[in-house]
Amino acid sequence: MQMSSDSRHLKLKVIWRPKFLGLAIDQLIVINSYSCFCRPLTTYYFWPKSGVWEQLKLELDSAMWLTEKEKIRYLNLVSDIINEWQKYKDIDKIEDIKKKFSEVSFLELRE
């Protein structure tokens, strides 16, 4: 089923930890102007253990309804997040990073 661009949105989800970075992409499906729901588009991939960018690219490429522009936008965002993590992975508070990437959902894991 083909969706209109108005009813389809993507959301990058990030788990930011000192030893790893988890990334996944959800599809937000708008029901009406008051409600929507999330559907996982990809599984979580963990950096540096796996080739996150390559794995997400494979999954995005299999979503034939996504435009090349959308795929590139999210893969660039993944690259930017990975680069930030490599620079600042050891910081405890990531509030500045959350502000810099306001379109990303940062999930917190409790220890």
Task: Indicate if the pLDDT at residue 47 is higher than 70.
Answer: yes
- CATH number of the domain bearing residue 62: 3.30.390.140
Number of domains in the chain: 1
On the question of a cis peptide bond just before residue 48, with omega within 30 degrees of 0, the verdict is: yes
**Residue 102 domain flag:** yes
In a domain, 47, yes or no: yes
- For 63-99, what is each residue's pLDDT tens digit? 998 999 999 999 999 999 999 999 998 877 788 999 9
**Per-residue pLDDT tens over the stretch 17-33:** 989 999 999 998 877 77
Look up the domain containing 17 and give its range. Answer: 8-107
pLDDT for the residue numbered 8: 53
Q: Would 3 be classed as within a structural domain?
A: no
Examine residue 89 and state whether it is found in any structural domain, yes or no: yes
Residue 98 lies in a domain: yes
pLDDT value of residue 38: 86
